[in-house]
Amino acid sequence: MLNNKIIDEIASKISQMLASSPAADIEKNLNALLRGIFTKLELVTREEFDIQTQVLQRTREQLDALEKRLAEIEAQQKQ
């Protein structure tokens, strides 16, 4: 069975090797590349989408109320 101290030392050495390797630079460059691609796609955040959904819901409610009111006015004019 391996000693916990040995496992911690191995994990520490691996972390140090990864930190000094080009993997960190590759990750940074990949993140920047992906952000650029997503920006060009003009994606919206979930928060922006939810806000627009609420605006659309209120607009539909107002439209329904106006249609109902118009129908009542038209019914009154027919009488």
**pTM as predicted:** 0.49
Distance CA 63, CA 70 (A): 10
Alpha helix ranges (H) inside the chain: 4-20, 23-40, 46-78
Distance CA 35, CA 37 (A): 5
Locate the domains of the chain by residue range: 1-43, 44-79
Closest listed residue to residue 77, CA positions, set 69, 27, 35: 69
| Residue 16, helix vs strand vs coil | helix
pLDDT tens digits, one per residue of 11-56: 788 777 767 777 667 777 878 888 888 778 877 889 999 999 999 9
